[in-house]
Structure 1
Amino acid sequence: MLYDPICGRKVSAGSSGVICVEYKKRKYYFCSEGCRASFQREAERIRLHELARVGALLSSGKVRWGMA
């Protein structure tokens, strides 16, 4: 099961009507056109937020994993 990165709803990649966008070699799934449009306006901020959530620390354009 996948989650819409905008509203957090569960979406199934195989069901009809699910909207998919590929951004920087990663696929994102959405429950509606509104969520897709919101993502496209703020795609880089959302991607950086995801990296921060999994422990990536950005420094001088480089990604370092772990704590500094």
Structure 2
Amino acid sequence: MANVVVEFTNSKKTVNAVVGSPLSQLCAKNGIKVKYSCKQGDCATCSINIDGRNVKACQGRVPASRRIVKIKA
């Protein structure tokens, strides 16, 4: 499995992550607070910004789009 560097821009924390792993788990594991409501992808309460586009943390996965993924959460 490939790894990417994930930079949480709000907390200035940088971690390594496995491509395709759940964003909700990555955030929780690294102490990044994400607001949730339904946890099924219906309400978009958990939307976070990844490389300039909004993604639902409860449904999203770590992308393989580049070597450094920037998450604003």
TM-score (norm 2): 0.25
Query: Higher relative CO (CA 8 A, sep ≥ 6), structure 1 or 2?
Result: 2
Q: Tell me which structure has the larger Cα radius of gyration.
A: 1
